[in-house]
Amino acid sequence: MDWMLTPAQIEFRDRLRAWVDENIPKEAAREAERVDGNYPHHLFDRLAEGGYHATGVPREYGGMGADLTTQLIQSRELSRSLAGMIWIWGSTSFAGANSIGLYGSDAQKRELLPKIAKGQLKVTIGFTEPGGGTDVLGALRTTATRTDGGWIVNGVKKWCTSAHVSDYVLLLVRTDDKVARKHHGVSLFLLPPRSEGVTLEPLETLGMRGLGTFDMTMENVFVPDELVLGEPNNAWYMLLPTLANERMLLMGTCLGIMDGVAEETLAYMKAREAFGKPIGAFQAVQHHFANIRMALHQTELVAYNAARLADAGADTFLEVTMGKVIASEHAVNAADLGIQIFGGMGYSADNDMQRYWRDARLMRFSPINNEMARNLVAERFGLPRSF
């Protein structure tokens, strides 16, 4: 796929791939999963030492100022090893570097972006609420009311990944309930999760185990005005342009998982013998591997095309929405075929195949489920809204 990349992007990819193999290999990610309840600070810190938290931060704030294609490359190369644990970088990149970089005040940018670039700050996301899921706005019950010098927040958020170690949660709240449409009157806050009145309850999850996922309850939590991100009551319009970034990172994650699946299965097919010859000599196994490689090729074309269009300033809502569906479904299917090729060893926690499958499975319904994404695609082609 080098023909879709610039020489600088190819050099960045090759350098990062070698760095990942040396500094955050797959066995490091497997081990981090086994340490129950402990966030992998050491992996986060290794990314800081390599300068990779700075990738999406603007140059004037100490970052690399990389375009979306380069961020897609980073997501892919990290995910080949980390799989879903890539969100030790991705959460802060999306919720912090991207959102603050786009909508933060000058004071917020000067204070927060250099720290993100150096790996001194962690930011996560607090959008989803009980009973909400994809219907973020319809289920939005967290409210913020005006008070002297800030706001008082009350409500509950679900699926706040790594909230226990984050410095801020990018929090979506309703600040005006007297509105004609539900996407009006919502705001974004940078809420410190260690604020008085915040309670975190851990959730057990199938995948992304090393990160920690939490319900977050807020009772009369004070958020000062300086931690309001952008214009109050206008958050939904601010969030829409960031969807390309989030879905781009997800496509990169799926590509990286498929890269890991492809290289691990190829090596296993050459080494594992049955009935007197390597299992890679059997036609059915070859077909499984060919399907993995073809799915990976298709996903590459879709993802890099979307990234190039976004970097050119095009409206890529349709491309990234279709790409999210294509990438996530191919990644799950590839990991499932990988388990089939590995057989019993694919079911073992001593290998990566089951980890790839568990982490990829999340991508089919998060941050938007693929059924709703298909609705949005159909609507873009002139069909009536179905929800």
| Contact of 137 with 185, CB cutoff 8 Å | no
Q: Convert the pLDDT of each residue in 252-289 to its tens digit.
A: 999 999 999 999 999 999 999 999 999 999 999 999 99
Query: Distance between CA atoms of 179 and 370, rounded to whole angstroms?
Result: 29
Half-sphere exposure of 361 (CA within 13 A, CB side): 11
pLDDT of 183 over the 90 cut: no
Domain 125-234 has CATH 2.40.110.10: yes
Q: Can you give the pTM of this predicted structure? A: 0.96
Query: Distance between CA atoms of 52 and 74, rounded to whole angstroms?
Result: 8
3-state helix, strand, coil in the chain (%, to 5): 55, 15, 30
Q: Which helix (H) or strand (E) holds 199?
A: strand 198-203
In 10 A of CB 17, how many CB atoms? 17
Span(s) in the chain for CATH 1.10.540.10: 2-121
pLDDT of 36 over the 70 cut: no
pLDDT of residue 268: 98
Average pLDDT, the chain: 95
pLDDT of residue 85: 95
> In the CATH hierarchy, which fold is given to the domain comprising 2-121?
Butyryl-Coa Dehydrogenase, subunit A; domain 1 (1.10.540)
Q: Convert the pLDDT of each residue in 340-365 to its tens digit.
A: 999 999 999 999 999 999 999 999 99
Q: Convert the pLDDT of each residue in 109-159 to its tens digit.
A: 999 999 999 999 999 999 999 987 778 888 899 999 999 999 999 999 999
| Contact of 357 with 338, CB cutoff 8 Å | yes
Q: Convert the pLDDT of each residue in 170-180 to its tens digit.
A: 999 999 988 88
Query: Distance between CA atoms of 303 and 201, rounded to whole angstroms?
Result: 36
Q: Which CATH superfamily is domain 239-380 in?
A: Butyryl-CoA Dehydrogenase, subunit A, domain 3 (1.20.140.10)
Query: Distance between CA atoms of 171 and 284, rounded to whole angstroms?
Result: 49
Span(s) in the chain for CATH 2.40.110.10: 125-234
The sign of the dihedral angle between the CA atoms of 316, 318, 324, 326 is negative
Query: Distance between CA atoms of 321 and 8, rounded to whole angstroms?
Result: 27
Percent of the chain with pLDDT over 90: 87
Structure tokens at 172: 């979506």
R_g over Cα of the chain: 21
Span(s) in the chain for CATH 1.20.140.10: 239-380
